């Protein structure tokens, strides 16, 4: 059996470090207002991972979590503010990591854009990837 890939990541100040021992799920960009404001950017880039494949190597107690009115939670470093994970308590199987926190190279890119109804008006989406007004359709 082939070895499972291991990817490592950290926050800006490296107080929080994690690893993912398994394959990535969907890589997408979210343009909802919550993601734009929490990342202070035109969008957030998240990669889906199985919770069973994800673990904090260091600094889990250094995270703080903000919950939005929709129930989405973002965990971020209390020192540097880097958003490390995004998750929802209703989904115990998956979590999402901020793609920008990865320290190891990856060979995948975003599959699509979600919540483009809320995108920043000053940002043009011209990469040809599918765009969804809200969430992407469920995969089968």
Whether pTM exceeds 0.95: no
Distance (Å, whole) CA 18 – CA 130: 30
Mean pLDDT, range 22-34, rounded to an integer = 95
pLDDT score at 2: 63
Distance (Å, whole) CA 129 – CA 93: 26
pLDDT in tens, 72-91: 999 999 999 999 999 999 99
The larger pLDDT score, comparing residue 31 to residue 5, is at: 31
Give 36's contacts (C-beta < 8 A, 6+ positions apart): 42, 43, 44, 118, 119, 120
């Amino acid at each position: 059996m082939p070895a499972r890939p291991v990817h490592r990541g950290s926050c800006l100040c490296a107080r929080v470090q994690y690893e993912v021992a398994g394959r990535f799920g969907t890589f997408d960009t979210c343009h909802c207002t919550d993601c734009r404001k929490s990342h202070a950017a035109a969008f957030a880039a998240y990669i889906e991972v199985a919770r069973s494949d994800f673990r904090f190597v260091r600094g889990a107690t250094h995270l703080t979590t903000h919950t939005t009115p929709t129930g989405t939670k973002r965990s971020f470093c209390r020192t540097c503010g880097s958003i490390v994970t995004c998750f929802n308590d209703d989904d115990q199987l998956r979590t999402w990591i901020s793609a920008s926190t990865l320290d190891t190279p990856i060979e995948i890119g975003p599959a699509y854009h979600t919540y483009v109804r809320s995108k920043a008006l000053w940002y043009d989406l011209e990469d040809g990837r599918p765009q969804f007004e809200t969430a992407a359709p469920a995969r089968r």
